[in-house]
């Protein structure tokens, strides 16, 4: 009960909005920070009136947007210099070219889907910076991705909070379970799409492969 009381006091504090914003920013370029869990937890407690649900959605989306731009800037500076040193006919250069083509044609889709994949958001934003994806287009697509993520995460928690209004821990477990289910569905769909693309010899959303994104990430 002491832990629950502490959590309740934290969520009732006006500082919770600043904390959510900071966690979402850090998660943009340091993906071990559990921003989604924090937002879902806030959504669970928002079902009782505190914190205020629209404010939770707004600060989570704003923090995600800022964090993604930090990651993009890291990729654009360090990652771009590293890519320029790769042999033009090497295997890594070909992987980057495939990633660049995939991002150029489906950048918005890739960015939006990656936001729901743990660690995927950082890999994609780093790569988009490294391949010099236009900054204005990145801002437009990322605003959509961050906004939808903030809305989704807060509402998942809110649904759990409404279902177990008198039992927040169960509401949190329900919210996290729903989030994990959605993440698993996205991952399976992405894997199936990648397999189909591999069979026909065309880059799909998996064009931003692990190999393509690992090098820009190392530039940090």
- Provide the 10 A C-beta neighbour count for residue 177: 12
Q: Give me the pLDDT at residue 212, please.
A: 42
Instruction: Look at residue 85 and give its three-state secondary structure.
Output: coil
Phi-psi region of 183 (alpha: psi -120 to 50; beta: other; left: phi over 0): alpha
On the question of pLDDT at 81 being above 60, the answer is yes
Q: Give me the pLDDT at residue 193, please.
A: 66
Q: Minimal CA–CA distance to 133: which of 177, 69, 189?
A: 69
DSSP-H helix ranges across 164-201: 168-200
User: What CA–CA distance (Å, rounded) separates 181 from 13?
Assistant: 30
pLDDT in tens, 150-197: 998 899 888 887 776 666 666 667 666 766 676 666 666 666 666 676
pLDDT in tens, 6-32: 666 777 788 899 999 999 999 988 877
What CA dihedral angle connects 129, 214, 152 and 48, to 10 degrees? -110
Residue 67: which pLDDT band, with cuts at 50, 70 and 90? very high
* pTM, two decimal places: 0.73
On the question of pLDDT at 208 being above 60, the answer is no
User: What CA–CA distance (Å, rounded) separates 139 from 158?
Assistant: 28
Q: Give me the pLDDT at residue 141, please.
A: 93
Q: Give me the pLDDT at residue 11, please.
A: 73
Average pLDDT, the chain: 76
């Amino acid at each position: 009960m002491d832990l629950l009381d502490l959590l309740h006091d934290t969520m009732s504090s006006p500082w919770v909005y600043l904390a959510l914003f900071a966690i979402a920013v850090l998660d943009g370029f340091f993906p071990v920070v559990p921003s989604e869990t924090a937002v879902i937890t806030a959504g669970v407690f928002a079902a009782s009136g505190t914190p205020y649900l629209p404010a939770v959605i707004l600060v989570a989306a704003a923090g995600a947007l800022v964090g993604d731009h930090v990651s993009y800037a890291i990729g654009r500076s360090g990652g771009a210099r590293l890519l320029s040193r790769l042999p033009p006919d090497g295997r890594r250069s070909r992987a980057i070219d495939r990633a660049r083509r995939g991002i150029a044609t489906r950048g918005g889709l890739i960015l939006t889907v990656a936001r729901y994949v743990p660690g995927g958001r950082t890999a994609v934003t780093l790569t988009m910076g490294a391949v010099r994806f236009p900054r204005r287009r990145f801002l437009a697509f990322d605003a959509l991705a961050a906004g939808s993520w903030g809305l989704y995460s807060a509402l998942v928690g809110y649904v759990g909070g409404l279902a177990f209004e008198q039992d927040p821990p169960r509401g949190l477990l329900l919210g996290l379970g729903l989030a994990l289910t959605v993440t698993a569905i996205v991952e399976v769909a992405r894997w199936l799409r990648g397999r189909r693309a591999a069979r026909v010899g065309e880059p799909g959303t998996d064009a931003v492969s692990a190999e393509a994104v690992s090098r820009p990430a190392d530039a940090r």
